[in-house]
Chains A and B, each alone.
Chain A
C-alpha cells in the first residue's frame, strides 16, 4: 500500500470513471435525440475538463500511483476497488477523456438512427476505457477490460457498414478468446500471491515456467488487442465497418489498452519471461511494421488503409516497449499518444469524406482538393504526421523508438527503416489521390468544404500534432519518472538474478 499516494478529499479518478456511466443511466430515462446528443457532449466535455486537475496535480518525480483510491470490495476473495495513476497511464487517461467529446461531435450528423442508444454506448465505453487505464486490482482491470467489448460490438453491429455483422462478431470473439486466457493467468497469479492487487504481484520470484506461461497468456490477450502481426486481422474488418466515432475510439484508445497491458503487466510481473521472449517479439514487431506497410500500400479503401497503417504504427510501439531501455519505452508511450491523436484525426477526416460521398473507395474521393481546401489542409498535416514527418508528433515518437532500438540492436533498427519508408509511400499515395488525383477524376463539384463543427473537431488534433512535434519536453517529463522507475526496477531484478545465479553455482 505504500506504493499508493492516496488522494484525500474528492475521489477524482472514481468520479472520472463513473461520471459517464451516470450520464448513460440518465439516457435510459430521457430518449430525445437532440437531448441525447447534447447530454453526451456535456458529459464527455465535463469529464475532459475534470481530468485537467489530474495533470495539474500530478507529481512527475514520484514513482507512486497517484490520485489513488482503495476501497474494500469483495474481502472474501481479496478483491478490492483500487485505482491509481502513474506516469505511464496519465497521458492515456487524458487522451481518452479528451477524445470522447470529439467523437460525440463527429457523430452529430453521421448517426441518424437510434441516436440515444449510440450515445449510451459511447458513454459506457468511456467508463470502461478510463477504468482500464487506472485499475490496480486485477479483477477490476479485467472487468473494465471486458466491459468495453459489448458496447463496441453494438457500435459496429448496429451502426456499422455493409459487413457489420461479420466484423463485429469477429472483433468480439477474437478479443474475447485472448482475454479468456488472461483470466486464467490472473487467477494463477492470485493463487500465487494471495491478492489481486497488481503492484504486489510485480517483481516476485516466480519460477521461469510459471512466468513463461503467464507471459504467454498475457501476451496473447494483449497482442490481439494491439494488434500485433499475425493476430491483427480483426482490425481491418472492424475499422472498415465501424461508424466514425467507433473507428476513432477503436484506433485511439482501444489499441492502446493492449500496449498498456504489455508495458504495465508483462514486464514487471514476468520479467524473466520478458527477457527470454523479447527477441522473437521484437522481430514480430518488425514484421508488423513492414507487413502493415505493404498491405496498406495495396488498399483501395481509405479506412482499411488507415487500419493497416495502425498495425504498422503499433509495431513501432511494441518495438519500443520490448527493447527495454528508456528511450524505447518513452518513445513507445509517446507514440501511443501520437498514434491516438493522428489516427483518430485521420479517421475523422475519412468520416467527413464518407458523409459527403457515401463511399470509402479512394477512387470516389479522388481530386477533392479543389473543392475542399480546408479539409485537404487538415488531411495533409495528419498524413505527414502519420508517417513521422519531422515537426509533427510521430517523428518524436518514432525517433525515440528507433534510438532505443539502435541502442539495443543495430540490425533490428535497420530492419524497421523500410517500414517507415513504406509508411511514407502509402500515406503520400493516398494524399496525392485524394487531394489532386489524376486526369480523370470524378466530378467532385457537389462537395462542400468543412463546416464550423468539423473544423472545431479537427483543430485540437492539429494543435497536438504540432505541440508534441515541436515541444515534446513537457510530455516526456510526465512519463519519464515512471519509466525510469520501471526500468530501474528491471535492472535491479536483472542484477538480482545474476547474483542468484552466481550464488547457486
Chain B
C-alpha cells in the first residue's frame, strides 16, 4: 500500500476489535475518535485520485483503494454518517452494538473503495453480517426472527452476486469492478445487477427493508438507513449505469414505496418505505445514465443519507424515550418533545424537496435528466411520486406523530421528552447539513462525478415545487380521514416467500428428517452393534484363543512339572532306582542304534 492512501475501514475494524478493552471514562472519547479517524482518512484520500492498495492474492490482483470522484463522494458521506451515527448512540454501554455498527460501516467503506469484485464481495458480506446485529440488538419479541430473515435474504443476494461475479470472471477473464457492457447484457450482468439491486431494495426484492429497519434498535436504524442501500446505489452507478431496465424498476420502486408508506402505521416502517421510494429515484437516475442523471443520483444519495438519518434519529428518539413506534400509540408529542419535533420537521421538509432544504437540490436533477432524455413518462411518474412523498413524509408523519389525536397512554406521555445531549447534537449536525446542502449546494455539486451545469435555484423550479407542495397539502387536508393510520398489517410480496420458507421448513422437518432418522437408526442398530460385537469377539479371542495357547503352555509345563515332581522323594532308593533305570534305557537305546 502506498503511503498516500489510508483505508478508513482499518480504523473502524481496529477500533471495533479494541473497543471491548476500553472501559470507563475512556469509552466515550474513544467512540468519538475512531469514526473521526476514519472520516479523516477519507478526507485525506480525497486529495488523491487513482488506484491504490493493490494486493496480490492467489491468481488475482485485489484493488482495495480505487479513488475517484464517485467513490470519494460516497466515502465522504459514509464516513460522516459513521461519526454522526456513533455520536447518536454514544451513551450505549454495550460494546457489541458499536462493534457491529463499525464493522458495518467498515464494510461499506471497503465496498466503496474496492476496485475489484473479490474485495467488493468480501466487504459486501461484512456489511450484511455487521448489520444483522443492529437488528438483533433491539431485543424485541420479533427481533430474532426479523434478523434471521434479513440475514437469509442478504446471503441469498450475496450468492447471486457471487454467481454473477464468477460467471463474469469466466467470460471476461478479470475481476475489475467497472462499468459493465449494459447495452448487451449477459446472464452475469443480470445476476450482478440483481445482487446489487437486492441491497438497494429493488422491487420485488425489497420486502426485507421495511421489516428490518423498523425492527432495528433505535440507533441501529440510523446506520442501517444509510449504508446498505447507498452502497448498493454506488455499486449500481459504478457497474450498471445506463441500464434501461433500471429506469423502469426505479420508477416502480418510487411509486410502490409511496403507496405502502401512505398506508403504514409504524413510524419507522413508514420511513423505511420512504427509503424504497427515494432509492427508486436514484436507481432511475442510474438507469437514465446521462451525466446529469448520474450526478443527480449521487447527489440524491448524499442528501438522502443526510435527511433520512435525521428522520430516523428523530423517530429513534421517540422510540428511545417512549418505547413506542406506532402512530396509533403516539400523537400530540410536540408539547413534550419540541427539539425532536423541530429536527424531525427539518428532515421531513428535506425529503419533500421543499425549497432550501436538502432534496431540493437533487431530486429535480434526476427528473430534469429524465425529461432531457425524453423519458417523459418516467419523469412525470417520479414527480407524482414526489407529491406523494410530501404527503406521507412531509405531512402525515409530523401531523400524526407530533400533532393530531393524542393516542398516548399515560405512561407513554410521562416518558416522552427530549433525549440526551449526544442525540440532540447529532440531530443538530444532521439538520444543519440538510439546510446547508439545500441552500448552497455548490460544495456538493463540486464533489459530483461529472461536471454540473445545473442549478436548482431557478424561479421555475421554485414555482413548480411550491405548486407541488401546495396541492399535496390540499389533498392531505381533504383526505385526512382516509390517510389516518390504522393498526394493521399490510401484506407485501414477502408473503410469497415467507410461505415458501414455511413450505421448505415442512419439507425438512418431515420427509427429510425421517430419512435422516432412519439412516441414523440403521447406523446405530446395524453398524455400531456389529462393530462392537466384532470387537468383543476379538477380545474374547485374545483371552481364550491366544492366551489359551500361551497360558496353556505355561499350565502344561507346570502340570508336567507337577507330575515329574513325584519322582522327587526324600528316599534315596527311589531316586537311585529312577537314575539307574534311565541310564539303562539310554544305554540300551545307544547300543541298539549303534548296531543298526
Contacts and interface: CB of A to CB of B under 8 A. Distances in A.
Contacts of A173: 554
A265 to B, nearest CB: 25
Contacts of A236: 542
Nearest to B548: A233
A234 B531 CA distance: 25
A170 interface: yes
Contact of B550 (A174, A294, A296): A174
A297 interface: yes
Given A170-B554, A173-B554, A294 B546 contact: no
Contact of A233 (B534, B535, B538, B547): B547
Nearest to A233: B547
A299 interface: yes
A298 B532 contact: yes
Contacts of A234: 550
Nearest to B543: A233
B539 A294 contact: yes
B531 A233 contact: no
Contact of A230 (B535, B546, B551): B546
Main DSSP-derived SS at the B contact region: helix
B554 A294 contact: no
Contacts of B534: 294
Contact of B531 (A174, A296, A297, A299): A297
Contact of A297 (B532, B546, B547): B532
A299 to B, nearest CB: 7
B23 interface: no
B536 interface: yes
A291 interface: yes
Given A170-B554, A173-B554, A425-B531, A294 B547 contact: no
Interface in B537-596: 538-539, 542, 546-547, 550-551, 554
B554 A298 contact: no
Contacts of B531: 297, 425
Contact of A295 (B539, B550, B554): B539
Given A170-B554, A173-B554, A295 B532 contact: no
Interface residues of B, number: 13
A297 B533 CA distance: 10
Contact of B539 (A170, A299, A425): A299
Interface string B46-83: 00000000000000000000000000000000000000
A298 B547 CA distance: 17
Nearest to A169: B554
Contacts of B550: 170, 174, 233-234
Contacts of A296: 535
Interface in B263-280: none
Contact of B535 (A170, A174, A232, A294): A294
Contacts of B547: 233
Interface in B514-542: 531-532, 534-536, 538-539, 542
B538 A298 contact: yes
A297 B531 CA distance: 9
Given A173-B554, A425-B531, A298 B546 contact: no
Nearest to B547: A233
Interface in A287-314: 291, 294-299
B535 A295 contact: yes
Contacts of B539: 294-295, 298-299
Given A170-B554, A174-B550, A297 B542 contact: no
Contacts of B536: 298
A232 B541 CA distance: 13
Contacts of A295: 535, 538-539, 542
Interface residues of A, number: 16
A236 B535 CA distance: 16
B387 to A, nearest CB: 66
A279 to B, nearest CB: 22
Given A233-B547, A297-B531, A291 B554 contact: no
B561 to A, nearest CB: 13
A465 to B, nearest CB: 27
Nearest to A236: B542
Contacts of A170: 550-551, 554
**Which of A170, A230, A298: most chain B Cβ within 10 A?**
A298
A297 B529 CA distance: 12
Contacts of A291: 538, 542
A170 B551 CA distance: 8
A234 B547 CA distance: 9
A296 B550 CA distance: 20
A232 B542 CA distance: 9
A145 B403 CA distance: 101
A297 B535 contact: yes
Interface in B430-481: none
A232 B536 CA distance: 17
A425 B530 CA distance: 14
A299 B546 CA distance: 17
A233 B554 contact: no
A4 to B, nearest CB: 41
Nearest to B534: A294
Interface string A155-171: 00000000000000010
A298 B535 CA distance: 5
A294 B554 CA distance: 26
A173 B534 CA distance: 31
Interface string A11-37: 000000000000000000000000000
Interface string A425-437: 1000000000000
A299 B534 CA distance: 12
Interface string A220-253: 0000000000101110100000000000000000
Nearest to A311: B542
A298 B536 CA distance: 5
B546 A233 contact: yes
Nearest to B557: A173
Interface string A441-459: 0000000000000000000
Contacts of B546: 230, 232-233
A296 B546 CA distance: 16
Contacts of A298: 532, 535-536, 538-539
B542 A233 contact: yes
B538 to A, nearest CB: 4
**Which of A173, A234, A295, A296: most chain B Cβ within 10 A?**
A295
Contacts of A233: 542, 546-547, 550
A301 to B, nearest CB: 11
A360 to B, nearest CB: 16
B546 to A, nearest CB: 5
A236 B542 CA distance: 10
A37 B554 CA distance: 37
A425 B531 CA distance: 10
Contacts of B532: 297-298
Nearest to A166: B551
Interface in B486-534: 531-532, 534
A295 B532 CA distance: 10
A299 B536 CA distance: 8
B208 to A, nearest CB: 41
A392 to B, nearest CB: 24
A299 B554 CA distance: 25
B436 to A, nearest CB: 59
A454 to B, nearest CB: 31
Given A236-B542, A291-B538, 6 more contacts: A294-B534, A294-B535, A294-B538, A297-B531, A297-B532, A297-B535
Interface of A: 170, 173-174, 230, 232-234, 236, 291, 294-299, 425
12 contacts: A230-B546, A234-B550, A236-B542, A291-B538, A291-B542, A294-B534, A295-B535, A295-B538, A295-B542, A296-B535, A298-B536, A299-B539
Interface of B: 531-532, 534-536, 538-539, 542, 546-547, 550-551, 554
Closest 8 A-B residue pairs measured CB to CB?
A298-B539, A298-B535, A297-B535, A294-B538, A298-B536, A294-B535, A233-B547, A295-B539
